[in-house]
Amino acid sequence: MTLATTNHLPLPSNSTKTILQPLSNNRTKTQVQCSKPNIMITIPNIISNLLHIGTARNPFPENLFIQARHNQTTPAASPKENISSLQAELHGKSNWSNLLNPLHPWLRCELIKFGELAQGAYDGFDYNPFSEYHGSALYNKDRFFEKLGLTSSGYNITNYIYAMSNIELPQWIERSLHANTWSKDSNWMGFVAVSDDTESRRIGCRDIVVAWRGTVATTEWFENVHLKLESIKIGDEEGKAKVEHGFLSIYKSKSETTRYNKSSASEQAITEIKRLVANYRSKGEQVRLTVTGHSLGGALALLNGHEAASTIADLPVSVITFAGPRVGNDAFGDELRKLNVKVLRVVVKQDVVPKLPGVLLNEGLEKLEGIIGELQWVYEHVGMELSLDVKSSPYLKHHELDLAGFHGLETYLHLVDGYVSEEDEFRKNARRDVALVNKYGGMLREELKVPESWYQLEHKGMVLNAYGRWVMRHREPEDIPSPDCL
């Protein structure tokens, strides 16, 4: 099974998007005839049942046309409220007890805030393979949020993170086709940011955020990295805790021959976190760490949260992931619990990625542990889960098998914005712009008349020069990546 380009680029024509069209007698077009007479296996129905997809086209309520038009003239975000009275609980002190079902409005806003920071790591990435800066951030850290419209987040970027891998991971590293590329072995992987004074007062502490970028991943990528668990060191010792070796390689790899990864992504992130913690603690401030990411970024976020908690004393650490895969074994989960790392996983029922790796070897085998012994080679999810359903939103297509759309971070944020509880319908006063769902895909219903994959680089980066010729746009000097900033 192939998972098409996920979330970050327009879907190619051969992407994994299958329309499940009902036929007579409740059968679908794709069928396999069994040897036993009168028995039909309907492949799309089997897949749709596994991923909680309906095969019937859901009716579009007429009142949503009116609501959609009304939303175009109203603010796309709720007013920011002072949430300092619930600061510790919102950060997971009590494992978000009584905040998830129903979803507390303040927690909903915080989840969207962190999700949009993770989305920024996609939007600010140079995907143009003809650019000599392909694989880098489009803008320097001082104007990154301004260019992406994220200044209202209340955070300032203090450092960028670059990553490489010492093992071959297909479809992970983005390499430029330009002869004079900025880097042949590293990619920009995210950033460290810190809340400004106004945001710190609003939330009740100084919040350091690390946002990890995911990848333009395919299912083959996950298939190639889920075959081996590798021991993770706690200090200088190796214990029973093991994590997926591909994730660990991206997080820990470095080389003296590179320009941007003489230090690993791990070292870059932890060094900056330590600097910020020391700086704000010296001023008598309460400091916390929030690590977030989507897809592969969710896996790196969990590794980062684990390392931060094990190396920085008395630092409250919360990890909030979207569409994150399984990362390690049961012993790794135990380590996170001992370190008091709070983990909240946001997942969509129809998304296949959170079911990987370990589709078969996962936490479901724990009931057999007494028979077959300790399960050191079995993957396990850790933390609390907020489970969302594509079918809850009247704005989304329910009858298509769109693996990339189910996995997209904008789909996730749309569903978070509309989620109330397991029992309630999609909230009618959701404010987030539904057009964002089609930013990189086509999950919105056609009735809304929002083009698919509308978020495009103008003219694919080409500009008309003074001589009337179309050439690749040159970056502003301040936006050219430099290893001196590390």
- H runs (alpha helix) in 282-323: 296-311
Catalytic choice (207, 351, 402, 479): 351
3-state helix, strand, coil in the chain (%, to 5): 35, 20, 45
- H runs (alpha helix) in 312-400: 330-338, 369-372
407 is catalytic: yes
The CA distance from 266 to 233, in Å, is 13
245 is catalytic: no
Catalytic choice (15, 136, 183, 295): 295
The residue among 316, 193, 303 whose CA lies nearest residue 244 is: 303
Geometric angle at alpha carbon 260, from 255 and 265, rounded to 5°: 75
* Residues 6+ away with beta carbon under 8 Å from 145: 120, 151, 153, 155, 156, 157
Do 241 and 235 contact (CB within 8 A), yes or no? no
The residue among 99, 154, 138, 132 whose CA lies nearest residue 290 is: 154
The residue among 409, 411, 408, 367 whose CA lies nearest residue 393 is: 411
Neighbour tally for 473: CB within 10 Å: 15
417 is catalytic: no
The CA distance from 451 to 195, in Å, is 35
Q: What tokens appear for 171 in the block?
A: 């479809």
Q: Could you give the 3-state DSSP secondary structure of residue 304? A: helix
Do 113 and 101 contact (CB within 8 A), yes or no? no
Catalytic choice (393, 407, 417, 479): 407
Tell me which residues are annotated as active site.
Answer: 295, 351, 407
